[in-house]
Amino acid sequence: MAHPSIVILTGAGISKESGLDTFRDADGLWAKVRIEDVATPEAFACDPARVHAFYNERRRGLRNPNVQPNAAHGALAELERRWPGEILLVTQNIDDLHERAGSRKLVHMHGELLKTRCAHCGALDAGIADLSVELVCAACHEPGGLRPHVVWFGEMPLEMDRIYEALGRCGVFISIGTSGNVYPAAGFVQELPMLAEQAALDALYSEVRACTLCAKHLPLGPRPIVRGEASARLLIVSQAPGTRVHMTGLSFNDRSGDRLREWLGVSRKTFYDERRVAIVGMAFCYPGVDIKGGDLPPRCECAPRWHGPILARLPNVELTLLVGSYAIDYYLQERPRRSMTETVHAWREHLPRYFALPHPSWRNTAWLKRHTWFERELLPELRQRVRELV
């Protein structure tokens, strides 16, 4: 049996038994000093000497011989040593007690008190006891730029990509000694289900992009094109990529895409925002051309093999646009009872789950001119529903 990946989040409470103050308790640091005076970039710009004095005092307190890792620090280090699976310890603390206890798979998302960082060149230094405005950076030799290597309020926490990747893979999440009031860490628990869904979808996409099921039939070789994150609320099911889409790897990156975006009333930026819009073809690779020079139909192997697993990993989709006859036939299965035109004209019957649309190719320009109800009746409703979702 595989061992689940573990992510552990720790906050100031885990270090309290070691003699370090927490931040938000009644007797914590922020009860003694204003955040705005010592823990923001604006405070440092306004009065760097005061900020240095605050962190110099905290640094001396951390180096006090009486401040040592406690049993909780030791237990987490021991868990890391014994756990055969993946493990990552994410701490909001800027002390070094986890390291001293033996933890090595560790991220300090709010920085490290015993390190300094140069605002001029970004160099880190762990050998400076007290900071002052007059100190010169050993790397760039510029004065006045050294600051504590900590994340102040208003700054982005460190290594967030690594943290979210680990959260997406984790099977066990443990939170210790944190108030749950400081974001983004406070949102980790709420984000875990979506991160796990996205990790599973990414793994599935990797399988799709490695697919060679119908490679011998593809004149340009396999290049599966599919897009969309687990959070997407709008799904577009189209036909198969054309040559331009095959070359660029970007769905609807052509004149048909321009017309489709105009129908939906969205910009390219919104259309290609995978957090909002997923695009899945009836086939994922360019199928080639027929003897008349037109694109061949989508390969029949693709949708039965991949659509079910992909749609199962898109749990937030509220509306699916079926673009073109191949998507309409596959999902609505109304022929031979209805033609494509009759199916599109009956668009109200398919709501709220589906919207059937003709393909936005220039070849359908004459169809659009003949069926004025499409622009007069269908498009306003389509745009309204899309606007609500994206």
Q: Please say whether the beta carbons of 245 and 288 come within 8 A.
A: no
Q: ω into residue 352 within 30 of 0, thus cis? A: yes
Backbone angles phi, psi at 327, to 5 degrees: -70, -40
Question: Is 216-389 in CATH node 3.40.470.10?
Answer: yes
pLDDT in tens, 231-262: 999 999 999 998 888 999 999 998 999 999 99
pLDDT at 4: 86
Query: Which residues participate in catalysis according to the annotation?
Result: 110
Element (H, E) at 280: strand 277-281
- The alpha carbon of residue 337 and the mean position of all alpha carbons in its chain are separated, in whole angstroms, by 43
* Residue 165 burial (C-beta neighbours within 10 Å; 0-12, 13-18, 19+): middle
What is the pLDDT tens value at each position of the chain, 390 positions in all? 578 899 999 988 899 899 887 665 555 565 567 878 888 999 999 999 999 999 999 999 899 999 999 999 999 999 999 999 999 999 999 999 999 999 999 999 999 999 999 999 999 998 788 999 999 999 999 998 999 999 998 899 999 999 988 888 888 888 888 766 656 666 677 777 777 788 889 989 999 999 999 999 999 999 999 999 999 999 999 999 988 889 999 999 989 999 999 999 999 999 999 999 999 999 999 999 888 877 889 999 999 999 999 999 999 999 999 999 999 999 998 656 678 899 999 999 999 999 999 999 988 999 999 999 999 999 999 999 999 999
Backbone angles phi, psi at 286, to 5 degrees: -65, 125
Domain positions in the chain are 6-193, 216-389
**Fold for domain 6-193?**
SIR2/SIRT2 'Small Domain' (3.30.1600)
Which residue reads 């490679």 in tokens?
215
6-193 and 216-389 in the same fold: no
- Cα 55 from Cα 122, distance rounded (Å): 19
